[in-house]
Amino acid sequence: MARPKPSLLPASVILALADREGRLEIRVSPGASADVIALPSSGAMGRLAVRTTAPPEQGKANEAVLRLLAKALDRPVSALELVRGTSSRNKLIRLLPWPT
């Protein structure tokens, strides 16, 4: 059986949630049934919801989240930097400048 295609938000929606310095707050749910990037819920204080099938061990979920965001933003993974939250569900990602 083929791997299901991830459910991603448009890049413009994700970029609109970033602050002036290009930082994006996300809430990660590792070990999910599918890879999904969703709008924040009403109580999430602007944090993007990211669900990944990767397990929360040895940085696998962090790597999967960066790959998923890079795909949604049509940027290389090297254009994203995990600033805070390596062992937490709440993470801060910096979007490094990238030519369009």
pLDDT, one tens digit per residue, over 77-100 is: 999 999 999 999 999 999 998 766
Range of the domain at 54: 11-95
Question: 73: how many CB neighbours lie within 10 A of its CB?
Answer: 22
Whole-model pTM? 0.89
Does the residue 100 lie in any domain? no
pLDDT score for 55: 96
Structure tokens at 15: 């970029």
Per-residue pLDDT band at 3 (split at 50, 70, 90)? low
Total number of domains in the chain = 1
CATH number of 31's domain: 3.30.1200.10
Question: 90: how many CB neighbours lie within 10 A of its CB?
Answer: 13
Does the residue 2 lie in any domain? no
